């Protein structure tokens, strides 16, 4: 497979996963922000820090302005992580590899591209905003389902999943870090399930949490779920386990000199999470742990690109 094709398949799925994550946290934040009695201090600041490059001063001016934030996150082309920009880039990658993806995958990406390029200004104001975000979320889930059920399993599928899982792992770390930063990473600080709803709903893990964890140490339970619960599809460990599988598949079909070095680097990253001494994580070590894993994931993504996509 040409490196250009592999690169486009990788980024097609990475952009679509980023869009899915953006829509999920936006919907969660919007709904919980309406619950003024419980979420008095809930603002858009965490999302703006993750999905924009605004300065602290710029974030402070709009963090309570829902209409302005939705415009910035959904349709503003000056924001490189807005839904409109992400879907445009995904479509560009899909168009370049139409011979390597199914007609159904192309049509779904194209459909979402045209949806976001309709005039959404009025729909993002008032009650129609929820319906609009929900519609995009449904289409995002449809893309995931169509891709999973129609794409042939092969090298292209492996590169697509590497893109999707690297993006998912990075998002989980960033969203988790923002939430734990709000309690100064103090795992023993009393924070009940109401406080953690934002993080769990943003990662589609709220229902699993209620069915799985039953003790009163909610903060530690939430950290366990998002970090090392191998049954939770958005946990850091689950995504790392799946990346290992697809990286192995790619290396089997690409005998390159740099495979061993990349495999060793990934093995150290994977082991850092897989064998973490969970009981030693606390207010001092947790922040550094999350930051180190995120930095290593970004470094792994860069090394993967250098080896297989032939650019730096």
Answer for the pair 67, 124: CB distance below 8 angstroms, yes or no. yes
Answer for the pair 170, 299: CB distance below 8 angstroms, yes or no. no
Closest listed residue to residue 263, CA positions, set 244, 241, 236, 237? 244
Residue 120's pLDDT is 82
Mean pLDDT of 238-245: 97
Answer for the pair 204, 211: CB distance below 8 angstroms, yes or no. no
pLDDT over 80 at 305, yes or no: yes
pLDDT band at 34 (very low <50, low <70, confident <90, very high): confident
Q: Residue 222 is encoded by which pair of tokens? A: 């939430």
pLDDT over 70 at 37, yes or no: no
Residue 88's pLDDT is 97
pLDDT over 70 at 247, yes or no: yes
pLDDT band at 263 (very low <50, low <70, confident <90, very high): very high
75-85 b/e (C-beta count within 10 Å ≥ 16 → b) = bbeebebbbbb
pTM for the whole structure: 0.92
Residue 254's pLDDT is 85
Percent of the chain with pLDDT over 90: 74
Answer for the pair 42, 33: CB distance below 8 angstroms, yes or no. yes
Mean pLDDT of 211-231: 88
Residue 216's pLDDT is 66
pLDDT over 60 at 311, yes or no: no
The residues near 21 (Cβ < 8 Å, ≥ 6 apart) are: 167, 168, 171, 175
End-to-end Cα spacing for the chain: 19
37 burial (CB, 10 Å; 0-12 / 13-18 / 19+) is exposed
Comparing 21-35, 76-90, 158-172, the range with the smallest average pLDDT is 21-35
Residue 38's pLDDT is 53
Residue 189's pLDDT is 72
Residue 1's pLDDT is 66
Tens-place pLDDT, residues 113-127: 999 998 888 888 878
3 burial (CB, 10 Å; 0-12 / 13-18 / 19+) is middle
């Amino acid at each position: 497979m040409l490196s250009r094709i592999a690169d486009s398949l990788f980024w097609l799925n990475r952009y679509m996963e980023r869009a899915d994550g953006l829509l999920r946290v936006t919907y969660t934040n919007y709904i919980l922000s309406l619950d003024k009695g419980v979420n008095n201090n809930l603002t858009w600041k965490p999302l703006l820090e993750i999905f924009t490059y605004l300065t602290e001063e710029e974030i402070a001016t709009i963090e309570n302005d829902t209409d302005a934030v939705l415009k910035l996150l959904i349709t503003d082309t000056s924001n490189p992580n807005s839904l409109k920009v992400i879907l445009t880039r995904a479509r560009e990658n899909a168009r370049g590899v139409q011979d390597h993806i199914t007609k159904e995958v192309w049509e779904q990406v194209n459909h979402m591209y045209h949806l976001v390029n309709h005039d959404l200004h009025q729909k993002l104001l008032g009650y129609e905003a929820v319906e609009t975000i929900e519609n995009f979320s449904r289409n995002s889930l449809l893309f995931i389902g169509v891709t999973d059920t129609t794409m042939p399993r092969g090298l292209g599928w492996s590169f697509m999943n590497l893109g999707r899982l690297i993006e998912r792992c990075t998002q989980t770390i960033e969203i988790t870090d923002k939430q734990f930063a709000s309690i100064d990473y103090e795992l023993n600080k009393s924070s009940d399930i109401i406080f953690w709803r934002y993080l769990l709903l943003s990662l589609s893990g709220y229902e699993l949490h209620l069915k799985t964890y039953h003790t009163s140490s909610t903060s530690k339970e939430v950290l366990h779920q998002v970090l090392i619960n191998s049954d939770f599809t958005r946990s850091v460990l689950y995504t790392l386990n799946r990346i290992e599988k697809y990286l192995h598949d790619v290396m089997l079909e690409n005998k390159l000199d740099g495979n061993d070095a990349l495999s060793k680097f990934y093995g150290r990253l994977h082991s850092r999470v897989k064998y973490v001494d969970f009981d030693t994580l606390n207010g001092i070590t947790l922040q550094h742990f999350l930051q180190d894993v995120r930095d290593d994931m970004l470094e792994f993504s860069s090394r993967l690109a250098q080896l297989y996509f032939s650019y730096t």
